Amino acid sequence: MRPENVHLTLAFLGSTPAAALPALIAAAGRIAPRTFTLRVDESGYWRHNQIAWAGVREIPPELAALVGDLRAALLEANVPFDVKPFVAHVTLVRKARPGFKLPPLEPIEWLVRDFALVRSVTGADGSTYEVAQRWG
């Protein structure tokens, strides 16, 4: 994962039609941003999708509230998203081979002040992420 693509997904929207963007932006705009520190302190590998990740052992209450509020606003605005339970993680390696192991992770204190609507753009060099709107 390129450093500029590192992110924490609050709600995965998938392929959202352009016509849904105004409702999506309005829904997210009703959410109060929170400032908190996210302690990234564990890593792992998911065999089912071949992803190596860094994550958190404890989700701060501010993050849980942000995710809950955002998802509720998306539901209210009829904006579809993946309703799987939220797992606070950052993808580090895609298409990692089975048995991939990361070295021990020193905890990282990540100051969170805002959240964003991010669009994935696929090009010849893989995906890049573009911030379409930021709140906070």
Does residue 77 contact residue 84 with C-beta atoms inside 8 Å?
A: no
| Mean pLDDT in residue range 43-68 | 94
Q: Of 4-8, 84-88, 124-128, which gets the smallest average pLDDT?
A: 124-128
Note whether 97 and 50 are within 8 A (CB).
Answer: yes
In angstroms and rounded to an integer, the radius of gyration of the C-alpha atoms of the chain is: 15
Q: Which of 11, 38, 67, 89 is catalytic?
A: 89
**Residue 63 belongs to domain with CATH number:** 3.90.1140.10
Tens digit of each residue's pLDDT (9 = 90 or more) over 63-82: 999 999 999 999 999 999 99
Active site residue 48: no
pTM of structure: 0.90
Q: Residue 7 catalytic?
A: yes
**Given the residues 1, 7, 20, 135, the one annotated as active site:** 7
Domain interval for residue 98: 3-135
Q: Measured between alpha carbons, how far is residue 67 from residues 4, 8, 33, 95, 111 in Å?
A: 22, 11, 11, 27, 16
Buried b (16+ CB within 10 A) or exposed e, 112-136: beebbbeeeeeeeeeeeeeeeeeee
Query: In the predicted model, what is the mean pLDDT of residues 49-58?
Result: 93
